[in-house]
Amino acid sequence: MVTLSSFVHRTGNARIHFENLNLAGEYAPIAAYAQSKLANLLFTLELQRRLTEAGSPVRALAAHPGWAATNLQSKDANALRGVSLRLGNRLFAQDSEAGALPTLFAAVQDLPGASFVGPNGLFEVRGAPALVGRSAAASDPVTARRLWTVSEELTGVAFPEPALTARG
C-alpha cells in the first residue's frame, strides 16, 4: 500500500493540530496542506506497526512526487502566490509523469515497511525515485498512534485486532 505525501511535511508549520484538526478559524492553505501530508506519513507509520503486529506480509509505504508541474499550483486563491507557483512550475518542477515515478517505485520495489520514497535531486524537488528521509515529527510513534485513535473515533472505523492464536 502506498500513501501519497509531500516534502512540505517538513515545513516549520507542519504539525498535527489535535485541538483543531480542521483548522477552524485559523485555516491557511499551506499549513493545512502541510498538516495533511504529515498526517499521511504518520498514518503510514502506524499502519505499518499494526500490520507487523498482526503478522501481515503487507507493507505500508509512502511516496512524494517532488515538485511536479500539475494544476494544483494554479488553484491558489491568492493571486500573487498563484503566479509564483506557476512560475515555479516552469523553472523548478518536473513533469507530472516524472512526479508519478516515486509512487510507482514504492509500489513495485521490495522496500521495508514505512519507507518513504521521493526524488533524489536537490531538495527532493526533482530526480529519480529513491528512499528519502522524513521529519522527526513524521517519525513520532506516539503522535502516529494518537492520530490513528482520533481518526478511528471521528470515522467510527476501527482497524481489526489480530486474531488470537492458540499456543502450545
Q: Which residues are catalytic?
A: 33
Using only C-alpha atoms, the chain has a radius of gyration, in whole angstroms, of 18
Show Cβ contacts of residue 153 under 8 Å, excluding neighbours closer than 6 positions. Answer: none
Dist CA 110 CA 106 (whole Å)? 8
Show Cβ contacts of residue 83 under 8 Å, excluding neighbours closer than 6 positions. Answer: none
Is the distance from CB of 124 to CB of 108 less than 8 angstroms?
no
Please give the grid coordinates belonging to residue 12.
Answer: 516549520
The residue assigned the cell 528519502 is: 132
